[in-house]
Structure 1
Amino acid sequence: MRSNRIRTTALAATALLAALSLTACGGNDNGNDGKAGAAAPAANTTATTPDTGKDAKDTKKTDSDAANAPAENVSTTSKSSTGGSKSGKNSAGTTASGSKSPVTCTGSNTKVTVSKVSRPINHLLLTATNTGSVPCYAYHAPALGFDDAQAAFPVLRDSIPQAVVTLAPGQSAYASIGLSGEPDGQELHKSAHLTVYFTGKSNQGSTGAPAKLTLPAGTSWGDNGFVTYWQSEMADALMY
């Protein structure tokens, strides 16, 4: 009997240990499953995050590429438009409005004449008419050379106009020549020919071809004479 009881107790203990072992195993498995279940989303999240970031970068890149394509097209169009607006010219050398850009007036694109006037006395009138197909600027004052005179004829600074004279084709600019100034009694020089030089915007020397003219008979000039700046009106030139 004792032997059966010991065997029964041993069997019971063995069964209890087995139950505890199964419980422990089950608890560990559940714990591992719980951890695995928690780790799985974390792993998925970790895996998804780079993918999402990559997708975001790709999306940004795609959006950037899509944005850049129109931008480049707009830029090209803008440069073409802006270039025309900034320079005022197109490939044909015309302004945005269709009119051609002005050039500097010279002896090549103008017809220059010299004539004697009754008032004021001892004055000549220079007239430069634009014979070209585009407007031209009559900058500053004409530089005059009587016959072979070496010194430049004096320019009357008080005659500076408010703006540069612009001549459309067919229009004229005027400058008066005071043959002798104050004081009286100065030595006079007789001349038969006059060379008219044009100046550029910088007023440094002459530019383009000069105009060579024949002076009215009996023309004499003095060292105190002067020439005015180009004027848009004849009356403005003859008021000096």
Structure 2
Amino acid sequence: MNVTAYRRGRTVRTIAASMLAVAALSVTAACSGGGDGGSDNAGKANSSASAPVSKDNQDGKENQDGKDNQGGKENQGGKEEATGGAAGDAGDAGVKDAKSQTQKSGGGSESEPVGDCDINKTAISLQNVKSPVNHMLLKATNKAGVDCKLVGYPGLKFGAEAQAATPVNEDSKPQAVVMLAPGESAYAGITTSAADGSGAEGGEVDSLEVFIDGSEDPKPVELPGGSVYVDSAAKVTYWQTDAQTALTW
């Protein structure tokens, strides 16, 4: 056997076997690398698909929905508050207007009270009347520059010797106090004596003093004709707003 040829053939086989082994290793490595790569990529893909939404993204979505809704509610509340405020302002204005009108009309607790008429600023006169008989009419006129009131009835003192004021006719009491604006007048009817002569202690008097409520000092009033007959039937009415009413009692 040719030793040289044998060695050559063995060497060729050895080289071929080595090449086959390297090729097999390359194929195996390639297959392994491809499989790993595919597994990693698939895992990453699955991880990306199944991963939860990040907190930032979730917050962003919630903020977008919640903020919009909350903002809308706040805007609605602001609108209601503005509407309520406008209604409140209108109500306040209405109250102020009503209060102003009350003050202008002289009513209400804040308006100045009307005081008693000042006897020194009140003109008082007396006159005879034809009917009814034995009657006279007392007239009081407000000469002050402000309103005043005449409370009750005038106090009358006929003659210097009179011990008491003339009694009042209680049936003549009006429903309200007489109020006088500047220049206005009030009236009181006076019965001087009984028409049928039944009165007692009668006599002629030549003077008259008149008192009004709120003043301590009397005012002398001139008697028509200088004197008048007065007896125990004499009476005076409450102050009235017109002469006819004053002479009815």
**Does the alignment reach a TM-score above 0.5?**
yes
Are 1:131 and 1:170, in contact at CA under 8 Å, matched by a contact in 2? Answer: yes
Residue segments in structure 1 that go unaligned for 5+ positions in a row: 96-100, 198-205
- Tell me if 1:186 matches 2:186: no
1:5-24 aligned within 5 A:
8-9=27-28, 11-24=30-43
Partner of 2:53: 35
Comparing 21-30 and 165-174, the one that deviates more: 165-174
100, 122, 125: which one aligns with 2:134: 122
Are 2:210 and 2:218, in contact at CA under 8 Å, matched by a contact in 1? Answer: yes
Residue segments in structure 2 that go unaligned for 5+ positions in a row: 1-16, 108-112
The CA deviation at 1:152 is 5.4
Name the aligned partner's letter for residue 170 of structure 2: R
Partner of 1:200: none
Are 1:123 and 1:179, in contact at CA under 8 Å, matched by a contact in 2? Answer: yes
Are 1:165 and 1:232, in contact at CA under 8 Å, matched by a contact in 2? Answer: yes
- Tell me if 1:142 matches 2:153: yes
The CA deviation at 1:24 is 0.7
Comparing 167-176 and 188-197, the one that deviates more: 188-197
1:25-104 aligned within 5 A:
25-32=44-51, 35-36=53-54, 40=57, 42-48=58-64, 49-50=66-67, 53=70, 57=74, 61=78, 64=81, 68=85, 72=89, 75=92, 79=96, 81-88=97-104, 104=116
Provide the aligned C-alpha RMSD in A. Answer: 4.6
TM-score (normalised: structure 1) = 0.62
Distance 1:137 1:9, change over 3 A: same
Distance 1:162 1:237 in 2: 14
Partner of 1:159: 172
Distance 1:150 1:45 in 2: 105
- Tell me if 1:237 matches 2:246: yes
Q: Which of the two has greater helix per residue?
A: 2
Partner of 2:220: 213
Q: Per-residue CA shift, 1:28-87, capped at 9, x if unaligned? A: 12333x624x962x41243343576468647855885698589659846862x4333112
Distance 1:238 1:7, change over 3 A: same
Distance 2:161 2:102 in 1: 45
The CA deviation at 1:223 is 5.2
Partner of 1:177: 190
Are 2:125 and 2:222, in contact at CA under 8 Å, matched by a contact in 1? Answer: no
Comparing 123-132 and 187-196, the one that deviates more: 187-196
Percent of aligned pairs sharing the same letter:
23
Larger radius of gyration between Structure 1 and Structure 2? 2
Name the aligned partner's letter for residue 208 of structure 2: H
Distance 1:124 1:12, change over 3 A: same
Distance 1:10 1:151 in 2: 148
Distance 2:127 2:28 in 1: 151
